[in-house]
Structure formats: structure tokens, C-alpha cells
Amino acid sequence: MLTKETVRDALETIGNTFFTVSFVAKDGGTRVYNGRINTKKGLKNNERSEIVRKAFQANGVVPIKIDGEQFKAFKLDRVVSIKGAGQEWRV
């Protein structure tokens, strides 16, 4: 798996554009998501959302907006590959 630092650098390089991430899920299977990070539209900015945002950040969880209004998440330390901004990071 890629290191947390590599994934963070990749996400910073990609920015707010679409990307594809492949990671190992809790059940041991591989999942692939295609979406964007850092999207604010449709999110509420209240006390609860701030608590969730801090918990995600502390636990290395990255929320990703996929297909319309649906949000999913993946952990930084479980990423196998990430592709976006014309670049690809692999194990």
C-alpha cells in the first residue's frame, strides 16, 4: 500500500479535480471510487459537521463525493493506487 504521505501529496497535486482511487476495504476486498474531494456544495457548516471533519482528519479518513450528491470515504493508509491530474501513483 502507498504511504499516508504519498497519498496526501497525490491528493494535494490533484486538488479539486476528478480522480480515481483504489483501496483495500475493511472486509479485505478492493474498492474503486471515482470522484472529487474538497467539495462544499450541499454540505452544512454547523457544529456537528465540524466535529465529523476533525474526527475524519484525526483518523486519516478522506471523504470523496461520487455520482451526484453521494459521499463515500477511504482511509489514507489503505490506498493501493490513485490516478488524477494526468499522473498515477501505484504500489
Digit-coded pLDDT (tens) for 12-60: 999 999 999 999 999 999 999 999 998 766 667 788 888 988 999 999 9
pLDDT category of residue 88 using cuts at 50, 70 and 90: very high
pTM: 0.88
CB 78 within 8 Å of CB 6: no
In whole angstroms, give the CA distance from residue 54 to residue 29. Answer: 27
Digit-coded pLDDT (tens) for 60-79: 999 999 987 888 999 999 99
List Cβ neighbours of 9 (8 Å cut-off, separation of 6 or more).
none
| Res. 8: pLDDT tops 90 | yes
